Amino acid sequence: MSINSVDAINALNHFSAESDNGIITVTIDQSSRKMNVIGDGFTDSFAVMTDNFINDASAKGLILTSGKETFVVGADIDQLANIKTAEQAFELVEDLKASLRKLEKSGKPVVAAMTGTALGGGLELALACHYRIAIDSPKTKLGLPEVKLGLLPGGGGTQRLPRLVGIQSALELMTQGKELRLAAAKDMGLIDAVATDKADMFKQAKDWINANPSAQQPWDKKGFKIPGGDSKHPSIVPIFSIAPAMANQKSHGNYPAITHIMSCVFEGCLVDIDTGLELESRYFAACVLSAESRNMINTLWTQLNSIKKGQSRPDGFERYKTKKVGILGAGMMGAGIAYVTAKAGIDVVLLDTEMAGAEKGKSYSATILDKAISRKRSTEEKKQALLNRIKPTVFYEDLAECDLIIEAVFENREIKAKCTQQSEAVIPNTAVYASNTSTLPITGLAKASTRPNQFIGLHFFSPVDKMPLVEIIMGEQTDDATLAKAFDYVLQIGKTPIVVNDSRGFYTSRVFGTYVSEGVAMLGEGVHPRSIEVAGMKTGMPMPPLALQDEVSLSLALHVSEQQQLDMKAEGKPIAVRPSYEILKTLVKEHNREGKKNGKGFYEYADNGDKYLWPELMDLYPAKAEQPSQQDLIDRLMFIQANESAKCYQENVVRSVADTNIGSIFGWGFAPHQGGTLQFINAMGLEAFITRSRELVTQYGERFEPAQILLDMADKGEVFADD
């Protein structure tokens, strides 16, 4: 390549080039970002780079690589969120695909030298190269996860992937949004080689180019056949007969992108690749403009990023790095918190009443790490390093150097108060004290503290190592400095923080309770339990209400309800009893059905792991001859949650729309395709939500009366949005 052509590439934003005996290495490095993305300006620069490489007779091969620890991690989602028309969406992906197609048909060998993770458009870029090498690292992930935002791979993934690895493997990867580690990707045929480091990667790339001076994609060769057969092959036809039904069994029709991906692959694998690529662009446009992708991009991208950037964090405080955490209680929650804290490189003191309990809590981390080692996602050295950061103890004196205490003991005020007093006797004056309570108001618990301004709630979700959310609860006297430290700690351990103000049940427990309670109430009205559960799955919730109530325990729900009634009576407030209360009371106290933990709740739990609805439920609560429509049941389960969330927002329990939406999805699994509880209202329209709510009031009771804030916002033509 002439020096002028190298200069032309070097003149491009975020691209640099160098030549080595005719082999051109182009490095993508977007200086303003931590990771490379395919966004504004990328496609134009990539097109110029492609033309310069192809048109230079002295350039015999191209290595595409990254200046980051990752390769390219996909499209700029903000750019996709701004698309308004199908034409815009179509042209956006067609422009990039034209360059990729030109590159792979150039006749010159092109190698993707992947420095790390390649997702979405980044992997699609690599798929358009003739050879793919990745540096061996346990952090590296390869995948096409677009379906998780209601989208499909629009950079050629739905066409190149099945032609490379076969239709069945491609469908599994794309419809599930799987992200593969290198070993699995190599076994599948997604990459061709693994390198030990950058030097090895570039040597392998140059060796391959020298050994293959003219390159052609398999699908451009005469007589090419898709591995395993095309869409009409006898072994593939049954897949397309069964796959839509299997997908619908899991998604219940709530994710149209899954069907669009299947259609792309089915239709595209019956025609030549160029026609298939155009088909993909049309389906991509349909996905981008769907309500589901709009909801998910708005919440799971835009609002989630706002939270992570500190939208709910008070200004005026420097970022704080927690150094040592004392955890009181080594049960399931305490052990989980110890693991995620130590995993983040923070020292942990794990305190329990008995040394055996503290040691058992530490062993939880060992169990998780042993599984990771067996899957080659960790090493024995990393395991020992993490375990060395956890000190089990029974002595409060060992908390002396902790800058954060997290109390995770039984939900009992007296026990918690004693923990507070014993801890504050030894910890530094500057330390933050947090309670992991899920139900007890923080302001009340802080009365046991001599420094209530440094007392805060940190509500983790179980299992702690898998659940992404932490609900930070502000007591009446909690100060902003304490909030800032707590917020920074949550980010430090890789979780997503939402900030709520103190109230009974806080936000997540309060609204989650309405979902299971409504399902239980339906049973008492004579709705067939199977109809209740099917409606629950149709909403897009992770579990139906009766099964979910079994998981969290009927006896616990009854205990919480009775405790709340006592508290409200003591406060002189009117006692509000949910319709589900009497049913829970009957099952727990008269039939000893406490939920999954004792093998019997609304369901029977067999020793072999099977479960089925308790047959005698129909005797206790006979089904009425005339059953409500499925849409009525779905609406009741969704509207009760959305309306309660609006009340929380109205009462300033939640501080932002982003926290409300993300809290609902990450906290208790509110249907992700709806974009969260307040986005559900936005997408429906406030007027329509109010109208339907009033219909539900007429049929099912005052609890569906729309929150006052909805009426006020509808009058002003407003929607839920943060400034």
Active-site residues, by number, are 75, 121, 124, 146
The β-bridge relationship of strands 404-407 and 324-328 is parallel
d(CA 303, CA 307): 6
Q: Which residues pair with 64 in a beta bridge?
A: 26, 112
Q: In what side-by-side order are the strands of the sheet with 324-328?
A: 390-393, 347-351, 324-328, 404-407, 432-435, 455-460, 469-474, 496-501
Choose among 688, 690, 676: nearest CA to 722. Answer: 676
Q: Which residues pair with 612 in a beta bridge?
A: 604
Give residues with Cβ within 8 angstroms of 503, minimum separation 6: 441, 510, 648, 651, 653
Handedness of CA 443, 447, 448, 449 (dihedral sign): positive
Handedness of CA 470, 474, 475, 480 (dihedral sign): positive
Q: Which two tokens stand for residue 26?
A: 């182009």
Give residues with Cβ within 8 angstroms of 292, minimum separation 6: 150, 254, 255, 256, 257, 673
* Helix intervals (H) in 272-354: 273-288, 291-297, 304-308, 332-343
690-696 LR contacts (CB < 8 Å, sep 24+): 690/714, 692/635, 692/639, 693/639, 693/643, 696/635, 696/636, 696/639
Q: Which residue has the tokens 């990752």?
A: 70
Q: In what side-by-side order are the strands of the sheet with 15-20?
A: 15-20, 23-28, 61-66, 110-114, 131-135, 193-195
CB atoms within 10 A of CB 710: 24
Q: CB-based burial of residue 36 (10 Å sphere; 0-12 exposed, 13-18 middle, 19+ buried)?
A: buried
